[in-house]
C-alpha cells in the first residue's frame, strides 16, 4: 500500500480538494483507496457527504483508543473508496495527545489494520505542523505538498521542509516528498506562470506535470457532498485530477527496481524564495539560493510494496 500525507501548514491551498479528488480518481481507475481525515475542520468528510455532527465514531475515537479502525471506517458513494471521517472533537485531541506515551505514532498504530486492504492511503492534514500533522507524517512513506500558484506560495516552505527532515531523521526514516501539486492555477495571469516556474526551480522533478487549474465546479462540489468525478466528470477540474491520478499511478515502480527509492532525496531544507522573489523585475544578485536538484534521479519514483 502506498501511503501519502498531503501537507502544507498554509491554509486554503488545495490539500482537501486534492485528497478528495486524487482519491476519487484513483478509485475510478480501479485502485482501492482509503482516505483519512485528520483535520478537525472535517472538510474532507463533508466533501463525501458525511454529516459530521451525527457520526458517532471518527478518527478522534481511533486516536483516543476508544474505537478500532473497523468501527470508524466508512464506505463512500465512490466504489472502492473508503474514508475515516473526522469531526470537530478532534480539535481537543491535539492537547490530549501531548500527555500520551508515543504520541507521535498513535495514528500509525490505529490505521495498521488498513495494511493490505488498500492500494492507497491518503491523509488530509490540517493547516498546521502540530501533533496531528506529525502523526500523519509518521504514518506514511510519502508526502505530497499542494501549493497555490499565488504570490505567497513558497513562504514558510523552509519551516515545512525542516519539519519533514526532522521526522525523517528521528522517527520515520522512509519518509520522502514524492509530489508537489500546483493548485488553483490561473493560466490567464503571468503571476501564476511565474510562481509555477519558481516552484519547478525549487522542487525540480518532484513537481507533477499536471497543473490543477482554477475551476468553479471544484469549489462547488463539496457542498453537494461529492468529489468532482461524481459531481461533474466533464469539467476541467475532473480532467485535471484524473490526469494527476494517472501521474500518481505512473510513479509506481516495478518491484525489480528497488534501489531508486533511496536516491529520491528530500530537498535539503534551505531558505525558500520569499514572496518578493516573484516581484518583477528582480535584480539577479538578489535572487534566493535555490537547492539544485541535479543529484535526483531523472524521475522520482517510489516502490509500491505493502
Ligand atoms: P485548509 O488549510 O483550510 O484545510 P485546504 O488546503 O484543504 O484548506 P481546500 O479546502 O482544498 O484547501 O481549498 C480551499 C478553497 O479553495 C475551497 O473552498 C476549495 O473548494 C477551493 N478550491 C480548491 N481548489 C480549487 C480549484 N482548483 N479551483 C477553484 N477552487 C478551488
Ligand atoms: Mg483542508
Q: How many CA atoms lie within 13 A of 121 on its CB side?
A: 28
Domain, as residue range, for 219: 2-303
**pLDDT category, 94, cuts 50, 70, 90?**
confident
Please give the mean pLDDT across all residues of the chain.
86
pLDDT tops 70 at residue 296: no
36-92: per-residue pLDDT in tens? 999 999 999 999 999 999 999 999 999 999 999 999 999 999 999 999 999 999 998
The residue-averaged pLDDT of 119-125 equals 98
pLDDT tops 90 at residue 7: yes
21 lines ligand 1 (CB under 6 A): no
Ligand nearest to the backbone CA of 44: 2
Long-range contacts of 215-223 (CB under 8 A, 24+ apart): 215/240, 218/17, 218/21, 221/47, 222/16, 222/17, 222/20, 222/43, 222/46, 222/47
**pLDDT category, 273, cuts 50, 70, 90?**
low
202-242: per-residue pLDDT in tens? 999 999 999 999 999 999 999 999 999 999 999 999 999 99
What gap in Å lies between CA 129 and CA 159, rounded to an integer? 9
CA neighbor of 179 nearest in space, from 201, 204, 154: 204
What gap in Å lies between CA 160 and CA 145, rounded to an integer? 10
165's enclosing H/E stretch is: helix 157-170
Residue 8 CA to ligand 2 centre (angstroms): 9
Say if CB 185 and CB 149 are below 8 A apart. yes
What is the longest distance spanned by two Cα atoms in the chain? Answer: 58
Cell matching residue 198: 519558481
CA angle 193, 23, 196 (to 5 degrees): 10
Share of the chain above pLDDT 70, in %: 82
The residue-averaged pLDDT of 264-271 equals 47
Specify the ligand 1 atom closest to the Cα of 124. Answer: 7
Share of the chain above pLDDT 90, in %: 75
CATH of the domain at 106: 3.40.50.300
The residue-averaged pLDDT of 188-214 equals 95
Specify the ligand 1 atom closest to the Cα of 11. Answer: 2
Residue 281 CA to ligand 1 centre (angstroms): 30
**Which of 180, 219, 232 has the most ligand 1 atoms within 8 A of CB, as the residue to mutate?**
219
Q: How many domains does the chain have?
A: 1
Give the pTM: 0.86
Specify the ligand 1 atom closest to the Cα of 212. Answer: 27
What gap in Å lies between CA 198 and CA 149, rounded to an integer? 10
The residue among 292 and 9 whose pLDDT is bigger is 9
The residue-averaged pLDDT of 260-264 equals 37
218 lines ligand 1 (CB under 6 A): yes
172 lines ligand 1 (CB under 6 A): no
219 lines ligand 1 (CB under 6 A): yes
Amino acid at each position: 500500500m502506498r501511503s501519502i500525507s498531503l501537507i502544507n501548514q498554509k491554509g486554503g491551498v488545495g490539500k482537501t480538494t486534492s485528497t478528495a479528488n486524487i482519491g476519487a480518481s484513483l478509485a475510478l481507475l480501479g485502485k482501492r483507496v482509503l482516505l483519512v481525515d485528520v483535520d478537525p475542520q472535517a472538510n474532507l468528510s463533508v466533501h463525501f457527504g458525511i454529516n459530521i455532527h451525527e457520526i458517532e465514531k471518527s478518527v478522534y475515537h481511533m486516536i483516543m483508543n476508544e474505537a478500532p479502525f473497523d468501527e470508524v471506517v466508512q464506505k463512500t458513494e465512490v466504489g472502492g473508496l473508503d474514508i475515516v471521517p473526522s469531526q470537530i472533537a478532534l480539535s481537543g485531541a491535539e492537547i490530549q495527545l501531548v500527555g500520551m506515551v508515543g504520541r507521535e505514532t498513535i495514528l500509525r498504530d490505529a490505521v495498521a489494520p488498513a495494511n493490505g486492504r488498500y492500494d492507497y492511503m491518503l491523509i488530509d492534514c490540517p493547516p498546521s505542523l502540530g501533533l496531528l500533522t506529525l502523526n500523519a507524517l509518521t504514518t506514511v512513506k510519502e508526502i505530497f505538498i499542494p501549493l497555490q500558484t499565488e504570490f505567497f506560495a513558497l513562504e514558510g516552505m523552509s519551516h515545512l521542509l525542516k519539519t519533514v527532515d526532522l521526522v525523517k531523521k528521528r522517527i520515520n526514516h522512509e519518509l520522502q516528498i514524492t509530489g508537489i501539486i500546483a493548485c488553483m492555477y490561473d493560466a490567464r495571469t503571468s503571476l501564476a506562470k511565474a510562481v509555477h516556474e519558481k516552484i519547478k526551480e525549487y522542487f525540480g522533478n518532484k513537481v507533477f506535470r499536471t497543473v490543477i487549474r482554477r475551476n468553479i465546479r471544484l469549489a462547488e462540489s463539496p457542498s453537494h457532498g461529492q468529489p468532482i468525478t461524481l459531481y461533474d466528470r466533464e469539467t476541467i477540474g475532473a480532467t485535471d485530477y484524473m490526469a494527476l491520478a494517472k501521474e500518481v499511478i505512473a510513479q509506481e515502480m516495478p518491484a525489480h527496481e528497488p534501489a531508486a527509492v533511496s536516491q529520491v532525496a528530500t530537498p535539503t531544507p534551505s531558505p525558500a524564495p520569499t514572496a518578493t522573489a516573484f516581484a518583477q523585475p528582480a535584480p539577479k544578485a538578489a535572487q534566493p539560493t535555490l537547492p539544485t536538484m541535479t543529484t535526483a534521479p531523472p524521475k522520482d519514483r517510489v516502490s509500491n510494496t505493502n
